[in-house]
Chains A and B, each alone.
Chain A
Amino acid sequence: MQNSPALVPLLLLAAAISIPVLAIKKTGVAYLAALAASLGSVVISAYNALRVWESGPLTYHFGGWNPPIGIEYVLDPLSVFVALVVNVVAFIVLCHAGGLKEREIPGKSVPYYALVLLLLCGANGMILTGDLFNLYVFLEIFSLACYGLIGIGEKQAPIASFRYLIMGTVGASFYLLGLGFIYIVTGSLNMADVRNILPHVYGNPAVTTGLALIVIGMGIKMAIFPLHGWLPDAYTYAPSTSSALIAPIGTKVAAYVILRVLFFVFDVKFVSQTLPVTDLIGWLAAIGILFGSVMAMAQNEMKRMLAYSSIAQIGYIGLGIGLANPLGFIGAVLHILNHAFMKGALFLVAANLRKNAGHSDISKLDASYRKKLPWSMAAFTLAALSMIGLPPTAGFFSKWYLALGAIDKGNWVFLGVILLSSLLNAVYFFRILEKVYLGTPSAQGAEGAPSPKSNKGEGFVAGEEEYALMIPAVVLSFSLLLLGLLNANIVKGVIQRIIPLGM
């Protein structure tokens, strides 16, 4: 298993290419093949994580070419951790996709699964690579798959996808342009090599320009305020199963790249003191948190609400980056994990609603939905509590570390924003919970809703819920309890081992 670092992207790429061929006769094969490939990627990335955990960071040189000439994969605790999170969440969402495809992507399941695997291939490549240009290539693979996955949705989806494509391409091009500046100055594309060369050339305006362009480009991909314009439409009109996949993974990977570039290619002192890059990100993120939360409150469509909530939650990660201290870093990385699980669970529940009730309109929700989908709603509740940040769910601890980080830095505004945001989250999530648990069906007259009298029939009857749709949502959201209670192990075992130098 010497080659295990390279296996995940290659496996996913190979599977993505072969799925359309395999599924010529029977389209059902596509689902199984995609599931198998995704499971494989989970297993291999878990194995990689284990190797790194036991024996420290690994590097893998493609084709035996040594860096800085050749392309290098770097497996350190951070990259294997994020890769594992992405693959696990993707696998769970993919399990869920099986039950949805008739409704959401009729007749397009084969390209859908191929695109999902391409997306994962891109994401894994971006996370593991140690080469800045290779990162660009994987970014584009990832993005193109994203555009496709969004575009096969509802009637409006192609427009949302096209707008995302334009903005996304600008983002990627900015990254490429910025990289060009860095390359002209340093003459290298290897991250470790660039890191060694950069201290000699920090005074060069090209470095500054390059950094700014890279941050803006990735900021678009990460949907950090005010570069978030593409996100709400894209998440809303994409097929639910795509939203559930892209929302937890898409923006996180970009956030990871920003972390990587700022703290591991450039150094902490340069980006936080010489240039106020992290401050800028932090303040924008703080505005984004409030903006996203307020906009989420105003939405009536659950997926759109979750999309705005994503903008706010991305802000948490941005805020952690902006703090540029160890606790902020812990908060940011932990929130990549926590938010992936939370948002995944929430989008899966939105998908279940659409599948079972034909809509995910918040104003139409009432107690009959809880009767029909008790487990989905339980999953939603738990994930919502985590979003609000109540213990013992994982969300509490993101908030905890970010609050500690903000206090550590003496930035009271950030502290206030984090805490205020949890109250705003409470407003827009309890609005839904209230409807789902307390709304009287007669008020809205939902079709097929049981009469209010049947409220007396208590108890959990899961029989009406499809297991294939229910279990993934429940697994994701109940893991939040586990992630919350065991977060110290993750922090100590993974994140604290990779706190960037100079923090």
Chain B
Amino acid sequence: MQKNKQKQNELFNPVVLVTLGIALVAIAIIMVTTQTDSNNALTASGLTNQIIVAFVTGITTGGLSCLAVQGGLLASSLAHQVEQDYAVQSTNRKKIKEKTKFNSTLPITLFLFAKLIAYTLLGALLGWLGSYFTFSPTSRAILMIAIAIFMIGNALRMFNVHPIFRYFSIEPPKFITRYIRKTAKGTDTATPLFLGALTVFIPCGVTQAMMATALGTGSITMGAALMFAFTLGTSPVFFIIAYLTTELGVRLEKFFMRFVAVVILILGFVTLEGGLNLIGSPYSLQNLTRNWSSPSTNSSPEIVSAQQPTLEDEITLYVQNQGYFPETLKAPAGKNLKLNLVTDGVFSCALAFLIPDLDYYQMLPPVGTVQVDVPAQEAGTELYFTCSMGMYTGQIVFE
């Protein structure tokens, strides 16, 4: 009997679980890379890419972020089993020297399974709703900045920087936790299943961003597939950390919380950067540091050599999978201009081109040229452009 238990513990060895998690991330990254390199039709690869990116987002960031917000619900589902052990000890009134161990694998698995089903259904609902309305780049930027503030606040809370940051922690409403504890009492499977499904009411920052993406798909199937991939991606990280924290005790939990805090802090700043780029803010890190780098690093060498001379009132920007080249375009002030956006075999999010100050948004074709009318600007004006994720950026400087 004891041998069996030992064997079970070996099966869920933390080292094996972490290695499995890392292997999954590697597979996902390889899948994304090969997908980007292939020259499949945009529609098919675009949809597959979105699903793979959702999965990678889940496995890399979503799991940690979700755990910070939804950990409470998982803890309360695990608490039921701990309470039973505690109750037995109290009733017997015996001093048990060794701590009673319980297997947290089943409740965590049930919790994650219910979560996966609930979020897939939510994705379908959002996709259906998305067919009626869409997020504008500005509202997406506001959402991203709000998410970033939430993430940074949560990281600072975990570092115990100031008591005020404790308010960034979302506490599930008392009536929900109380109701669940009372109704699910006595059934070992109902509690984690019910609580897992309940996580849809307290989505974490990254999940909310993914929900916005699902909304943007405007399709029931695509919305469901996106949320399924994302939630599936969050599961290994969620499982590993939840398992480790429940099995390895408070000391390691604190270590993991610090690790999670560092990751969330970094992600928070990355999200903030994306949000600032989306509203065309000159204070994003990319826009602040662009001018510090030498002009030669701003443009791709092949692009510079291939650049064709354009008319006096035309400027050309080359859109590539890795971003926009040159990153800084010089343009004459005081006259209306035409901006040529040239693409040739581009499949990355650089295709979703945005000039926030002109309120211009265009999904570019993978191959071709799109012309944008840029009204006359005063000398010294800097017009920022970005992709719709706020990842790739650049500027037009009028002089």
Whether chain B is bound by chain A comes out as: no
